[in-house]
Structure 1
Amino acid sequence: MSDQNLKIIKTEEQYHSYLEECEFLLDKAPSAGSPESDRLDLLTLLIEKYEEQNFPIEPIDPIEAIKFRMNEQGLKQVDLAPYFGTKSRVSEVLSGKRPLTVQMIRALSSGLGISVETLVGLHVDESQDSRSSDTINWKLFPLSEMISRGWISNIQNKARNKDIVEDSLKKFIGVLSDNNHQPAAAFKRTLQGEAYSPNKKYSIFAWLSKVVQEASLDPVVNDFKQGSLNKEFLKELAHLSWFDEGPKLAIEFIEKHGIKVVIEPALKGMSLDGAALRTPAGNPVIGLTIREDRLDNFWFTLLHETVHIWKHLDTGSTFVDDLERSTEDKIEAEANRIARDTFIPRVAWKRSEAYLRPTRESIEQFAKDLKIHPAIIAGRIRRESGNFKVFADLVGYGEVRKHFSKFSVEEKL
């Protein structure tokens, strides 16, 4: 290993030299805080900077994005007919013979979750949509489900008076604002993330309100300190995945640092994994739905939302995330990258046997080396390859909800 001071990478030769040194240090597995560990972190930053400047990500082709989502969701061309109008138009668009129309783009964005930016190659300003309106249509709340789940208990299901219903919903939603008597202020929260959908806005606000209520009923003991969140915090959190009781240990660890974690299953039709937000009092909260009872989904969601708490809540946004979708949003992409690199350092990933020759044995060995659960590695292979049939026995199906009493109650209802 060279003793010379590290410098900004300017040549390809220097780039490969730094990669080799990274590989050497990774093999030594230096302890956190050691000079070698600090040097490894600095090398990684320099390499990432060089790669960002010299290997830019090319804009995603709209047709390729559609085909990727079809493969991801197991869709055939006939399944896309509702978005294009006819079967023949699907074939014509996917073959490049017919351009996408505005109506197609709107339908694909809403139905398949592909961003408008990807489909048209332009940034679309959504700041003037219905979420900014002071007018609330109380009929659009999923009232029946809210009642059945015990969220609103003072309304008789068969004799709903309009004024009573509206008053109850105002109180329920009002917890999202500084003043419980101003539910319209709650609706001015800026929602960001791939789980946001105008069609599900009322369900999202109902769910967020429940999360804030739960956080207020059982607050954390310790005060949150922004400075407590850093790379070492994330690494320690990631290493808890190694343990059988990892999900419970992780939530205990996060709450000891002043961040409340609320587990609340999503309402029907919501494509939501998690959320990061602040209460009106300014306290950080992570909401988890655990809609996918899989370890790989749980751990990635938890770190993704923790990154939002660390990096992004000062923007004033509430983040609602569907992490099964791909994203081009810069903030979401940053949260994905930091979470991904915390579990598996970028340099280590591309040189690992699990990446080059994925087998059960190589995945389990790599997980042991990194001190993380094999499900995280298996999940990444499935995601990057687009093949969700492989390593299904390694991603930890049925290994999350069993740790939380919330689901034993929900499943009886």
Structure 2
Amino acid sequence: MDIKVIKTEQQHQEYLKEIHSLMLEMPPIHSKAHEDLELLITIVEAYENSKYPIELPDPIDAILFRMHEKGLKQVDLVPYLGTRSRVSEILARKRPLTVSMIKALSIGLGISTDTLVGINAVNEHSSDDHIDWSKFPVKEMINRGWLPDIVDRTKKNTEEIIKSFIDQVGWQASSSVSFKRTLSGDAYSPATKYALFAWVSRVVQQARKRKNALGIFNPDVLSASFMRDLAQLSWFEKGPLLAIEFLEKHGIAIVIEPCLKGTRIDGAALKDVDGLPIIGLSLRYDRLDNFWFTLLHEVAHIWKHIDSNEIFLDDIDSNTDDRQESEANRLAREAFIPRSTWKRSQAYSSPSKEAIDSLSRELKITPAIIAGRIRRESGNYRIFNDLIGQGEVKALLVPAFDN
């Protein structure tokens, strides 16, 4: 038989019949018939793979199948995906899997990363049609001066204006994805994702303007000691300014940008395409306790969690059981008040202004941090209002960043 590359379905069927006949004969190894059989099988497999490719299973279907196979409930996925609400959103296909989630599921449930990435996940963002450009807060962005090209008559519509804005950051996709970054964190919600992308894009643009004034970033310098040194800058009257100077000296860009309407974001942590670590602060609450805890929380993300794609967007008021958010909270708390010190302090057992002042002097940190922790842990936000530094942050930072 003259064996050639298959070009027609008729030829394919003829080769299948020949394979069947040869297999019935069971030709000896190294015989001409056995070699023909191997060649026919190889050619038929190549033809079938090209004409009838087997698609990877849908990532969510694969997760649901493994859950059924192992008898798992949604709550059992919390260690891999974060919070219960996040698990529900992902299984309902309302939220994408992040790189860290894919890694965790692959290791924990034994699902291949190829399956979890999924061909459908790629196809989902195969064109710009999946981006609803009208959902960007264009009017607010114009009012803030983010879109100076709005007066350029060559810009024909909203889509082109926003694309130009996002393109400055380099996150709009080529042909394969809608946006090149994954938003995560407690401040993220599908309803506000466009406003959040706009806000983060602005933060990155502003960070790049500060880049030449930054020191060289060395990730090895980040440590518990580094966090503690940063926390103790809160002891000084101009502590917020000193903290920003300290971080930028170590190559971490800090940007102050008020959050857009409808979003609940205190801070963000990410890395630019060139690896520049960036922290964005909204100063949503103009209080010292919120500023300091948010800042150290974001530094903890830079230290422990940031990869090249993920962006952490944080609502510090949120109660979370996400592993990475919980770790960032713990590292920030420990930098200000070590657990052993907190548990034995009068500020913990019998809160009072005197106890707060005493612990503040012992640890060389602002009393606002201690007062804020007592308020949060007790759930009583009516106490110690005069100690949390209300109105003291913007007065220091906004003039400095406006210059």
TM-score normalised by L of structure 1: 0.66
Residue 306 of structure 1: which of 281, 287, 299 is its match? 299
Amino acid at match of 1:325: S
Task: Name 2:223's counterpart in structure 1.
Answer: 230
Instruction: Say if 1:155 and 1:164, in contact at 8 Å, map to a contact too.
Output: no
Task: Name 1:322's counterpart in structure 2.
Answer: 315
Residue 94 of structure 2: which of 129, 136, 156 is its match? 129
Change (3 A) 1:266 1:129: same
User: Secondary structure in 2 aligned to 1:277?
Assistant: strand
Change (3 A) 1:123 1:186: closer
1:335 pairs with 2:328: yes
Aligned mates of 1:196, 1:160 — CA distance in 2: 34
Task: Name 2:74's counterpart in structure 1.
Answer: none
Task: Name 2:136's counterpart in structure 1.
Answer: 141
Shift of 1:119: 6.8
Residue 266 of structure 2: which of 251, 270, 273 is its match? 273
Map 1:53-92 to 2 at 5 A: none
Deviations 1:41-94 (A, max 9, x none): xxxxxxxxxxxxxxxxxxxxxxxxxxxxxxxxxxxxxxxxxxxxxxxxxxxxxx
Shift of 1:217: 1.6
Shift of 1:185: 4.9
Aligned mates of 1:183, 1:335 — CA distance in 2: 35
Amino acid at match of 1:206: A
% same residue: 49
Instruction: Say if 2:82 and 2:321, in contact at 8 Å, map to a contact too.
Output: no
Change (3 A) 1:142 1:221: same
Where in structure 1 are there 5+ consecutive unaligned residues? 1-114
Shift of 1:186: 6.5
Aligned mates of 2:336, 2:245 — CA distance in 1: 19
User: Secondary structure in 2 aligned to 1:216?
Assistant: helix
1:392 pairs with 2:357: no
Aligned mates of 1:406, 1:126 — CA distance in 2: 46
Residue 349 of structure 2: which of 343, 356, 370 is its match? 356
Deviations 1:8-27 (A, max 9, x none): xxxxxxxxxxxxxxxxxxxx
Deviations 1:191-238 (A, max 9, x none): 111000111000000000000100112214322111011111101000
Change (3 A) 1:376 1:244: same
Aligned mates of 2:142, 2:274 — CA distance in 1: 27
Aligned mates of 1:176, 1:406 — CA distance in 2: 26
What is the RMSD computed on CA atoms of the aligned residues? 2.8
User: Secondary structure in 2 aligned to 1:398?
Assistant: coil
Amino acid at match of 1:142: P
User: Secondary structure in 2 aligned to 1:218?
Assistant: helix
User: Secondary structure in 1 aligned to 2:90?
Assistant: coil
Residue 153 of structure 1: which of 148, 152, 158 is its match? 148
Aligned mates of 1:396, 1:285 — CA distance in 2: 25
Instruction: Answer with 373-382 or 278-287: which moved more.
Output: 278-287
User: Secondary structure in 1 aligned to 2:365?
Assistant: coil
Amino acid at match of 1:324: D
User: Secondary structure in 2 aligned to 1:290?
Assistant: coil
Task: Name 1:254's counterpart in structure 2.
Answer: 247
User: Secondary structure in 1 aligned to 2:183?
Assistant: strand
Structure label with greater radius of gyration: 2
User: Secondary structure in 2 aligned to 1:389?
Assistant: coil
User: Secondary structure in 1 aligned to 2:149?
Assistant: coil
Shift of 1:174: 2.2
Amino acid at match of 1:340: R
Instruction: Say if 1:263 and 1:406, in contact at 8 Å, map to a contact too.
Output: no
Residue 238 of structure 2: which of 233, 241, 245 is its match? 245
Change (3 A) 1:196 1:160: farther
Amino acid at match of 1:138: W
Task: Name 1:189's counterpart in structure 2.
Answer: 181
User: Secondary structure in 2 aligned to 1:334?
Assistant: helix
Amino acid at match of 1:193: G
Task: Name 1:163's counterpart in structure 2.
Answer: 156
Residue 210 of structure 2: which of 202, 208, 218 is its match? 218
Shift of 1:181: 7.5
Equivalenced residue count is 293
TM-score normalised by L of structure 2: 0.67
Map 1:37-48 to 2 at 5 A: none
Instruction: Say if 1:274 and 1:301, in contact at 8 Å, map to a contact too.
Output: yes
Task: Name 1:370's counterpart in structure 2.
Answer: 363
User: Secondary structure in 2 aligned to 1:331?
Assistant: helix
Instruction: Say if 1:175 and 1:212, in contact at 8 Å, map to a contact too.
Output: no
Instruction: Say if 2:149 and 2:155, in contact at 8 Å, map to a contact too.
Output: no
Where in structure 2 are there 5+ consecutive unaligned residues? 1-80, 97-120
Task: Name 1:199's counterpart in structure 2.
Answer: 191
